[in-house]
Amino acid sequence: MEYGAIDLHSQRSLIRIVDADGAVLLDRTVASRREGFMGVFADRARMRVLLESGTESEWVAATLEACGHEVIVADPNYALMYGARGRAVKTDRRDVAALAEACRLGIYRRAHRVSAAQREVRRVLRVREQLVRQRTQLICLLRAQLRQEGYRLPSGSSETAAARCRALSLPAALVAQLTPVLTMLEALGPVIAALDAETTQRAAADPVVQRLMTVPGVGPIVGLTFRAVVDDVDRFADAQQCTAYLGLVPREASSGARQRKGAITKAGPSSLRVALIQASWAMWRQRQGRAALHAWVERLAARRGRRIAVVGLARRLARILYAMWRDGTDYRAVPLAA
């Protein structure tokens, strides 16, 4: 059997193919395009091909699988795959040689490959996130420019910011200078509203998201984001692994009798971590004094402060969502014991 490896880059990628004894059969650089990979792998017998997980790894893997090959998308953080604990000299040629040897010997750790359906959901959520961020920046710019001239933008929702600005009695010159900002805000509004409607429809059609939304503070965006990021609940052995993947566990440097813990690691996708913290603030505002979870947050806030308490609540919220998805159960608030 032959074994292949790809050191994938955005423009040109290195390919190496070896036999069962490690002898090099092919060593070539190709353009990082479908036709480039097809030209190398289309006519070869079935082989195992290894490449690192990255932005473009999924479409490359799908292209090679269409040629009939077994594709391994590997975790690049697995140091043993490169054959040395520390690499004093690192080049693309050495990388692809190490990957080919790791493929032949089976020294790799598979990375999770997100399903096509959840990749589509992630794309919709990222587009919406970027447009919302852009709208927020425009509103901040609008407020700042008005304040420089002694005016204030009245309070209100983001959707009505442009209308509230146009309702002010402003000098004609200032209106002309702010028109590009107002035009962009008015153009972004319908687009974001359409994306909100789409996310609501997607959430309503997904039974897992509907179950997650039974938690107070968890709406369509948080539910869809958790569903899309986790993708497969069975890939985590327990809730601790899930929260560690999301970067909500504290850093630790402990040895012997010494134990040191710091801020959260912030590993993994930041979009879900931010969404969970926002949901935790919503749960904080909706807290009811007789719920055990809210009583726990209150005690933590009294001891460590509100910010740390909200991060702790986000970690516990992630565990709750994981358990609900794993067990197929809806949220049920535990009453506070008398």
Say yes or no: 129 and 239 in one domain: no
Helices then strands, counting H and E runs in the chain, come out as 12, 7
Smallest CA-to-CA distance from 49 within 66, 35, 33 is with 66
Both 64 and 167 in one domain: the answer is no
State mean pLDDT over 77-106. 86
* Final residue before a domain boundary, out of 173, 205, 237: 205
Residues 128 and 183 in one domain: yes
Using the predicted structure, report yes or no on whether residue 171 has a pLDDT greater than 90. Answer: yes
- Percent pLDDT > 70 in the chain is 97
pLDDT band at residue 294 under the 50/70/90 scheme: confident
Which of 188, 205, 222 lies at the terminal end of a domain, its last residue?
205
pLDDT of residue 290: 57
CA distances from 43 to 34, 109, 156, 178, 337 (A): 14, 28, 62, 60, 69
CATH of the domain at 9: 3.30.420.40
Residue 338: the pLDDT is 54
- 5 three-class SS: strand
Structurally, how many domains does the chain consist of?
3
CA dist 17 and 97 (Å) reads: 9
Choose the final residue of a domain: 57, 81, 105: 105
pLDDT tens for each residue of 19-29:
999 999 999 99
Asked if residue 53 belongs to a domain, the reply is yes
pLDDT tens, residue by residue, 307-336: 999 999 999 999 999 999 999 999 988 776
Whether 150 has a pLDDT exceeding 70, the answer reads yes
Is the confidence at residue 289, as pLDDT, over 70?
A: no
Residue type, 53: S
Q: d(Cα 44, Cα 73) in Å, to the nearest integer?
A: 20
Q: Is the pLDDT of residue 284 over 90?
A: no
In this structure, are 82 and 48 located in the same domain? yes
Q: 176 and 97, same structural domain? A: no
Evaluate if residue 9 carries a pLDDT over 70: yes
- How would you list the strands of the sheet with 70-74, edge to edge? 24-31, 12-18, 3-7, 48-52, 70-74
Q: What is the mean pLDDT of residues 160-178?
A: 96
Q: Are residues 90 and 127 in the same domain?
A: no
At 39, the pLDDT band (50, 70, 90 cuts) reads very high
Residue 110 resides in a domain:
no
Q: What values do phi and psi take at 107, rounded to 5?
A: -95, 85
Do 197 and 219 lie in one domain? The reply is: no
Same domain, 140 and 197: yes
| Predicted local distance difference test score (pLDDT) of residue 87 | 63
177 domain residue, yes or no = yes
Q: In which region does residue 179 sit, left (phi positive, over 0), alpha (psi from -120 to 50) or beta (all else)?
A: alpha
- More confident site: 166 or 87: 166
pLDDT-derived band at 259, boundaries 50, 70, 90: confident
The whole-number pLDDT of residue 244 equals 94
pLDDT tens digit sequence for 101-138: 999 999 999 999 999 999 999 999 999 999 999 999 99
pLDDT of residue 324: 96
pLDDT over 90, % of the chain: 83
Please report the pLDDT score of residue 283 as a whole number.
87
Q: Per the domain annotation, does 337 fall within a domain? A: no
Q: Which range marks the domain in which residue 292 is found?
A: 209-327
Q: Residue 191: what pLDDT?
A: 97
Confidence class for position 293, pLDDT limits 50, 70, 90: confident
Mean pLDDT of the chain: 93
Between CA 192 and CA 150 the distance in angstroms is 31
Mean pLDDT of 79-91: 77
Query: Do residues 161 and 267 both lie within one domain?
Result: no
